Structure 1
Amino acid sequence: MTDTLKVYDAKAGDYAKAFANNAPDKHLARFIAALPTASHVLDLGCGPGTASAQIAAAGHSVDATDGSAEMVAAVTRLHGLPARQMLFDEITGTDIYDGIWANFSLLHAPRAEMPKHLAALARAAKPGALLHIGMKTGTGEGPDALGRFYTYYTEAELTDHLTAAGFIPDYKATGRDKGLAGTTDPWLILQARLAPTGTAD
């Protein structure tokens, strides 16, 4: 994770420029529309804060978190929002969030650690809370051309992880896009609800 964070610290400005947009994309718009009024949302791996700002603009409170110090600084500099530096191992709390936006962030976690991270998110989420998760698809794990660590998942594998943590997937989208490293990669987005009975630890 250290090498990955070094890349994001060094590339925070480039990342902010590459992925800036003035309105939510269709996936974020869908997520926002499904939230209860005045929801409390965790933006896990918020990057420079574009999604956090758009969620806040829709009337919700946002906990913007990222492992990169430079990304956290960018959130306040670009959007005037508070943000905090936090690693996946530092996810805490119980029954806090109405929604969790984990858009292409957890793909940096080693495969063996994904179950504990999803269990922590399930504990932090309120029953019935909405989770959005975006991942690159494929198999294996390892560094990309920039040195960032990635874990790749199939749809079945990611679905199994979510259901084991107590989330019930109800929407998916797939596609291919060019990322910061310059490669065009396939991806998968799943949105899920935490079961009313909570997590299945």
Structure 2
Amino acid sequence: MTDDKTLGVYDEKAGDYARLMDHDTIAPTALNKFLSALPERGTVLDLGCGPGSWARYMVKAGFRVDAIDASAGMVEKASAIEGLNVWQADFSDIQDVAKYDGIWANFSLLHARRAEMPAHLARLKTALRSDGRLHLGLKEGTGEARDSLGRFYTYYTVAEIRDLLARIGLSVSDLRTGADKGLDGTVAAWFTLTAHG
């Protein structure tokens, strides 16, 4: 994510976002299912970790966790988590090869431009081990827009993401859909899925 306006919102509202994550009832179910498919004490990347809510959970569950976020405010929050390896980075900074058993990209890649998504997904596949799993959470819809806080979003259909993943040799499972109120106070449709070889 390189959109300065979006980063500014997250820097300013890191505390508010952390409190919102504390009341998230959707991600824990998806995260538990995701982690259950990974090897014990496996290596996970939390891509766009925010304040580290889910990274903390993964560390406590015994996983070795790297966490990145492009927002300095979010990285500062996540850095307080004991046992978490966290640093400030953009999606395009991922250059690892076969390092991760799992990559948790929970509503982070939706801030990337549509034209950039194929390259981001290809880098993530390269960073995964051959039997690795990629969790994606995205907002459902079409087009690109900013919310009332000024954050940039790209909206996707499930069919569009399935196609992008198929092009790099990944299949989809564990598809879930819903709608929830976000940081801007509006209810938006979303979907999550797991991609694997």
Counterpart position of 1:10: 12
Q: Find the aligned partners of 1:142 and 1:170 in 2 and give their Cα distance.
A: 28
Are residue 121 (structure 1) and residue 116 (structure 2) matched?
A: no
Residue 87 of structure 1 and its aligned partner are, at CA, apart by 0.4
TM-score scaled to structure 1, two decimals?
A: 0.93
Residue type at the aligned position of 2:134: L
Residue 21 of structure 1 and its aligned partner are, at CA, apart by 5.4
Counterpart position of 1:149: 152
* Matched ranges for 1:13-92 at <5 A: 13-20=15-22, 25-77=28-80, 79-80=81-82, 81-92=84-95
Deviations 1:137-180 (A, max 9, x none): 00000211110000000010011111112221121000000000
Q: Find the aligned partners of 2:113 and 2:24 in 1 and give their Cα distance.
A: 33
Segments of 5+ residues of structure 2 without an aligned counterpart are none
Structure 1 outlier segments of 4+, above 3 Å: 21-24
Q: Once the two structures are aligned, what percentage of the paired residues are identical?
A: 50
Residue 122 of structure 1 and its aligned partner are, at CA, apart by 0.6
Segments of 5+ residues of structure 1 without an aligned counterpart are 196-201
Residue type at the aligned position of 1:185: A
Q: Find the aligned partners of 1:82 and 1:35 in 2 and give their Cα distance.
A: 19
Q: Find the aligned partners of 1:27 and 1:11 in 2 and give their Cα distance.
A: 25
Alpha-carbon RMSD: 1.4
- The answer (yes or no) to whether the contact 1:137–1:186 under 8 Å persists in 2 is yes
Counterpart position of 1:199: none
Residue type at the aligned position of 2:167: A
Are residue 162 (structure 1) and residue 165 (structure 2) matched?
A: yes
Residue 182 of structure 1 and its aligned partner are, at CA, apart by 0.5
Aligned residue among 133, 137, 142 for 1:139 = 142
Residue type at the aligned position of 2:137: G
Residue 82 of structure 1 and its aligned partner are, at CA, apart by 3.2
Are residue 110 (structure 1) and residue 113 (structure 2) matched?
A: yes
TM-score scaled to structure 2, two decimals?
A: 0.94
Counterpart position of 1:198: none
Residue type at the aligned position of 1:189: T
Residue 18 of structure 1 and its aligned partner are, at CA, apart by 1.2
